[in-house]
Homo-oligomer: A and B are copies of this chain.
Amino acid sequence: MPYYDDELDAVLRALADPTRRAVVERLARSPAVVSDLAAPFAMALPSLLQHLRVLENAGVVTSEKHGRVRTVSLRPGALDVLHLWLGEQRTPAEHQADRLGIHLARTIDEGPTT
């Protein structure tokens, strides 16, 4: 699945940086204008804009300009590709633990059989 791989690669490269993760964490609460995003970081605006470009190219964020103000949002479902990949990496032991958990939950729901 080359498209899926490229998308996953771009998302992981984008997230493998603490500043970009901090931006994602902030945007998960609500969209924000660039100047507000820049405020908590001790970095020049061009550096932050460069990080935002990496996030936007990876499809993690989207942005819209109204007049002189650019608003950045987390793209809905942006991290789904990573969720999906992580789910596929569950080991047989973890799958077995899942099945045991489901079995126990059902047993508890049904109550004692005596």
User: How big is chain A's contact interface, by range?
Assistant: 20 to 34
Report the copy number of this chain in the oligomer.
2
Provide the bound-state CA to CA distance between A82 and B79, in Å. Answer: 11
Residue in B21, B76, B83, B92 whose CB lies within 8 Å of A29: B92
- Nearest Cβ in chain B — how far from A40, in angstroms? 15
A37 sits at the interface (CB 8 A): no
A interface residue numbers (CB < 8 A to B): 5, 8-9, 12-13, 15-16, 18, 21, 24-25, 28-30, 74, 76, 79, 82-83, 85-86, 88-94
Which of B12, B79, B92 is A89 in contact with, Cβ under 8 Å? B79
Task: Provide the residues of chain B in CB contact with A90, threshold 8 Å.
Answer: 28
Other-chain residue from B15, B74, B83, B94 in contact with A91 (beta carbon distance below 8 A): B74
Q: Which residues of B contact A8 (CB under 8 A)?
A: 21
